[in-house]
Amino acid sequence: IHEQTLGLEHNITGITATNLGLLLLNQGSYVASEPLLRRALAIAKKAKGPNSEDVLARCCNLGRVLRKAGKLAEAEIELLKGVDLGERFQKGRPFIELSELRVQQNQLDAAEILLKRALEIIRSTLPASDEAIAEAVEKLAALYDRMGRTAEAEALRRSADK
C-alpha cells in the first residue's frame, strides 16, 4: 500500500520494509528477510544520506540477518559501516552486533573490545536504569564466561546489580 501511495523510494516505504524484514528475521526466515532489509537500507541512503542514524540502524539490521544466514563476510562489511556511524552518533548497538559476529568467528578478544566500547557509549548516553546497559553488561559477562574468565564475569554482574 505504501509503495502505491508514496512510491518505491519513500522513507515510509523503507520503514515498512524494515519492519517486515525484522519480523521475518525474528521468525528465522533469513532468505525472505534479506532483500527487504537491503531495500530498506538503500531507501534510507537515498532519503537521508549515507551518514544518517537511519542508515546506521539499517546497516545493523542487514548485518544481523547476513550473520544469521552464515554470510559472514557480507555481514562484516555492513557491520563495520555501522560501527563507523556508531562512533559518529554515539550508538552502542553496532558494536554489539559486530561483537556477535566476532564471537561467531571465534575472535573473542576482538569481541571483548567491541563490547567494552559499546558499554562505554551506552553508559555515557543513557540513564543508569536503561535496560540496554544491563543487556550489554550481560553480553560482556557471557563472553567472559565463554573465555573461562568466570571471576570477571561474576564481578561484572555484581557491579551491574548495584
User: Mean pLDDT over residues 42-63, rounded?
Assistant: 95
14 and 40 Cβ atoms separated by less than 8 Å? yes
What is the average per-residue pLDDT within 107-129?
Answer: 96
Closest CA to 56 of 110, 98, 23: 98
> Is residue 11 pLDDT above 90, yes or no?
no
Per-residue pLDDT tens over the stretch 61-109: 999 999 999 999 999 999 999 999 999 999 999 999 999 999 999 999 9
> DSSP 3-state assignment of 54?
helix
Average pLDDT of span 38-65? 95
Residue 151 has pLDDT above 60, yes or no: yes
